[in-house]
Amino acid sequence: MQARLAKRLREVDRGERAIAAWMGVRIGARTLLIPLSHASELMPGQRPTPVPYTQPWFLGLVNCRGELAGVIDLAAYIDPETPPRHAQSFGQTRLLTFNPALEINAALVIDHMAGLKSQGDFVQAYAPRSDNPWPFLGNFYIDRDGTTWQELNLQRLSEDPRFISIGL
């Protein structure tokens, strides 16, 4: 293991290996880039315990290593017309918890993991329109396959007044 680590460090020193900055995920139909510094843990999907009188995008609570975390369906948060998730679909998902430094016990439902991404994986980048209604959705990036990704800033999401107001 030490030999592999030493080899990777030499590759980074020589600029042969790009350092990952994001985790690539799909949530609903969106392909998103989540900064690694904003994420904490990736867990197998589990059915949350529902909480009455909450927004439809707040799916309930799960136990994450002894801590309760609110489970958020970001697709439904962004687009209220998104069909609700069914209980059986949670076995096909993952939960991504927010970094404790963000001071919010929350987890996003992740439909698909696309791996770690670095700046070198993309051929073009551009800013969102100035009238972007979601300040937590940042720059767009296009990869070599032509897939468009958008950066999701979990810190800005956790500060969004609507996000922290889960009650009806």
Query: Which CATH number does the domain housing residue 136 bear?
Result: 2.40.50.180
**39 falls within a domain:** yes
Q: Identify the band that residue 3 occupies on the pLDDT scale cut at 50, 70 and 90.
A: low
**19 falls within a domain:** yes
pLDDT at 15: 53
**166 falls within a domain:** no
**Domains held by the chain: number:** 1
pLDDT at 11: 56
**105 falls within a domain:** yes
What is the tens place of the pLDDT at every residue in 78-122?
998 888 887 667 778 999 999 999 999 999 999 999 999 999 999
Tokens 């800005």 — which residue?
156
Eight-state DSSP code of residue 42: E
**95 falls within a domain:** yes
What is the tens place of the pLDDT at every residue in 24-73?
999 999 999 999 999 999 999 889 999 999 999 999 999 998 999 999 99
Q: Which residues contact 87 (CB under 8 A, 6 or more apart)?
A: 47
pTM of the complete model = 0.85
Question: By the 8 A CB rule, do 29 and 117 touch?
Answer: no
Backbone angle region of 15, left / alpha / beta, with phi > 0 → left and psi within -120 to 50 → alpha: left
Q: How many CB atoms lie within 10 A of CB 56?
A: 13
**16 falls within a domain:** yes
**168 falls within a domain:** no
Which domain covers residue 67, as residue numbers?
2-159
**88 falls within a domain:** yes
Q: How far is the C-alpha of 87 from the C-alpha of 82, rounded, in Å?
A: 15
